[in-house]
Structure 1
């Protein structure tokens, strides 16, 4: 008889919300993440978690377990979508290019911070035809793309020379203000929940583990990557002892998707291919046995840290656990129930044994290598079927 799954630990939701809001209020478009890296390091210090950084700032935490190899990792990314100054315009405004993949439709009206070499300056992204009193119906008929928006600084400047005097230059990073709000109904509205909410879930799960008397069965590495939104992800922060990795990310709630913003989503496949069957089954099992509300989903236009790790040549099992999110890469919304479920599921996973014991070695014989089920399904012994002949 199989042993019961580890029991999920209670999660400090006040801590999760506090750290999430502080993360959301800290700009970190991909390529400009140093400040948020220091913030996460400070949180790990406060939790007593040993950690180290790569040259560019990806973070690998270390929680010692009862044995080393195979190690496991849980990863979230601190970088977000954003923009960069592409040009200084003769009207004193700035043209932009996107960082990451997102629509200029969601940029229109966004409050922003521009990081110049001489300091930060605030502004607003506007469509080229923003004045309804001047352009009338043309404000609704103009194209939606990055060539049809511009950034208006909160400065008295109306020409290119004025921009240059302010120290604005091509290549300055533009952070999109998050404007987070947690409603009485438990919804979290903000830009950049992807993946600041995921980072908060991971930190809250680590806090629950460190404050318990639990001894983890395996070394576990909380990872925080800095360039997932531009496709790099967890490609450089792993080491060869890591045999399995769970990524935390957002799951789109939209027509054609199963994800719901008030519960956990366990991804089965994204645009890079299927996630590992065995590790995914483990996450589903842990969710069921801990009564964590969850759904399964497939993401057609989506990739996460796991894809970058595999593409970089890492031989490891991957899975993804998500919080359901409405309006992904826009003004996003999730629910505290989903975040709590993700964090609790992570605490159960960290306490679970290795998915495949044979994975302790990178190469070995076929003995111990697992099998996926191929036999015909059998009836459950308690299943009752309606027999029309018997009814007659």
Structure 2
């Protein structure tokens, strides 16, 4: 099976549109509506959970065992913790990210009356006032405050402007799309993943090929706070592949080029057989790939398992430099991931028993490569050549 061509112009265009829509966790209605409209433009219908997770089903030859491809629409952000006596706002983060990357950020604060613009600043922001003290101020959310671009010198002034505790603060993405394929922006985690899913879906529809089983394209709305795909799956889904950012940097094997397949995150190893299937597809389709393990990382693939879903899970990533900060990625990785997941959507189902949530006995159950003397009831594994477990 030849890998499908991915429309990278479309991928970049939809990514730019998504980045322009503020969507910190808890404030995702607008981007949910935009995603549904885009899905409808591709000729499919989106269904929503009560809170707004989006499900799109690409029909296959059989409904089960369905496959799910998941990315998240929500991003990092902040909330107003307190109206300060000096006319500034105290903040708490939405999601896990350092105040080091908040300093200097331009933001929008959404209130019941509309929105205000502002800037997140350290408590000691001016060298003309504090001299070298600005360099000794600790890094942390207690050490920053939000200056709104309105006349406010007291907590009362802020209240009169309509500001209140709990207001959502969206961080400007400040995207740049460079001619050499690099994309620099906040919130590439995981709007780049959403763009990849939509580009893969577009390629699958254009190909006219029918997947062997239904493929659920899921767009979740609370991954950054750990909820993710916990309540977005239906019972016919047997495997979940999350599309999210890899962590390029010292001590990691992720790359800003090609596909990075996660072998484990902080919740433990991903499903052996599903992960091996993805690796084999990269080899067969000549898609550049590498493997990595993420120690301080949790994704939609993990949240589905933690929520109690009996599904195989895997994580496919595009390596991002400076994740949860000023992020950078290359279009080569985004295209490569889209190629892989479209190939996965069309590849044959190898574990037929996954169509049922439970079956009697071990007939049809999977095998992992293990020497015969460690498991006498299993056939001997060849001494030479690659081992191809049933997957």
TM-score by length of 1: 0.94
Q: Which residue of 2 aligns with 1:311?
A: 306
1:369 maps to 365
Structure 1 segments unaligned to the other structure (5+ residues):
1-5, 382-392
Does the 8 Å CA contact 1:251/1:325 hold for their aligned counterparts? yes
Quote the residue 1:55 is aligned against: 50
| Pair 1:26-2:21 in alignment | yes
Give 4+ residue runs of structure 1 displaced > 3 Å after superposition.
Answer: none
Q: Deviations over 1:267-316 (max 9, x none)?
A: 00000111000000000011111111111000000000011111111000
Q: Among 258, 266, 275, which residue is 1:271 paired with? A: 266
Aligned residue pairs total: 376
Which position in structure 1 is the counterpart of 2:173? Answer: 178
- Please give the alpha-carbon distance, in whole angstroms, between the structure 1 residues aligned to 2:193 and 2:305: 21
Q: Which residue of 1 is the match for residue 90 of structure 2? A: 95
SS at match of 1:75: strand
Where do residues 1-392 of structure 1 align in structure 2 (5 Å cutoff)? 6-364=1-359, 365-375=361-371, 378-380=383-385
Structure 1 residue 261 displacement after superposition: 1.1
> Does the aligned pair in 2 maintain the 1:72–1:243 contact within 8 Å?
yes
Report SS of the residue matched to 2:153.
coil
Tell me the equivalent position of 1:390.
none
Q: Distance in 2 between matches of 1:170 and 1:141?
A: 29
Deviations 1:235-290 (A, max 9, x none): 11101110011000000111110001122100000001110000000000111111
Deviation, 1:56, is 0.2
**C-alpha distance in 2, partners of 1:300/1:241?**
31
Supply the distance in 1 between the matched residues of 2:63 and 2:129 (Cα, whole angstroms): 68
Query: What is the TM-score of this pair, normalised by structure 2?
Result: 0.95
Query: Structure 1: how far apart are the matches of 2:70 and 2:263?
Result: 17
1:377 deviates by 6.8
SS of the aligned residue for 2:156 comes to helix
Q: How far apart in 2 are the matches of 1:253 and 1:333?
A: 10
